[in-house]
């Protein structure tokens, strides 16, 4: 690890920490504020990959994973009260889903980006983020809320997330967690497109600075 990797590491740690906090606050009916900060993790990974290579990107991913695990462990020890019940701020299923989704999706992002790095400048960041974000969404929401995986944490009542409702309030009837997942996925896809602008600007600046150094 070199000093040049420190900005990426600090950025990833800050994004993961902020997302773990903001995921507790709702934005509308289907999203949390964390949905707007977490996708930035893919931007950091792709920037490190483009500027410093896949190995540096993987180091940043592992730092984010460690920070996320520590946040989740801390959350499981924080007890909240509501409606006469006491419950942890972060359940075991959410902790498992969050950690596994982050590590798997980010490492896949690194691998896809590395494979496509010699193509057009936008292809690698866009393709890697779209695939990684989709996998992240599927893994996290399935593990955290699906009734089929209740054995992971029998004491955690996820019946609220499996209430049958129209998808996003207007589509076919599906468990609530699927609406949450689709809304989260749509935000990730939108931000993947928007992130191409800062990606191009930062990469151009960093490579120009390296050339003149």
Please give the Cα distance from 65 to 158 (Å, whole number): 25
**The whole model's pTM is what?**
0.90
Angstrom CA distances, 20 to 39, 49, 139, 141, stand at: 12, 24, 17, 15
Please give the Cα distance from 27 to 32 (Å, whole number): 5
Averaged pLDDT, 140-163: 91
Assigned architecture for domain 3-212: Orthogonal Bundle (1.10)
DSSP letter at 171? Answer: S
pLDDT of residue 86: 66
How does the average pLDDT of the chain come out, rounded? 89
On whether the CB atoms of residues 110 and 122 are closer than 8 A, the answer is: no
Give pLDDT tens digits for 42-66.
999 999 999 999 999 999 999 989 9
């Amino acid at each position: 690890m070199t000093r040049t990797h420190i900005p990426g590491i600090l950025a990833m740690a800050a994004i993961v920490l902020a997302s773990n906090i903001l995921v507790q606050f709702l934005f509308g009916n289907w999203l949390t504020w964390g949905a707007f900060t977490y996708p930035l993790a893919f931007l950091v990974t792709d920037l490190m990959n483009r500027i410093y290579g896949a190995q540096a990107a993987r180091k940043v991913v592992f730092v984010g994973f460690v920070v996320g695990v520590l946040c989740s462990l801390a959350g499981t020890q924080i007890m909240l009260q509501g409606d006469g019940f006491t419950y942890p701020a972060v359940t075991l299923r959410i902790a498992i889903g969050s950690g596994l989704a982050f590590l798997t999706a980010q490492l896949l992002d690194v691998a896809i980006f590395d494979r496509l790095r010699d193509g057009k400048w936008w292809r690698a960041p866009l393709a890697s983020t779209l695939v990684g974000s989709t996998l992240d969404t599927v893994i996290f929401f399935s593990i955290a809320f699906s009734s089929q995986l209740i054995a992971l944490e029998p004491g955690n009542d996820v019946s609220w997330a499996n209430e049958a409702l129209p998808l996003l309030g207007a589509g076919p009837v599906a468990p609530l967690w699927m609406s949450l997942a689709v809304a989260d996925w749509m935000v990730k896809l939108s931000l993947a497109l928007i992130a191409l602008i800062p990606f191009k600007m930062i990469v151009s600046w960093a490579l120009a600075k390296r050339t003149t150094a």
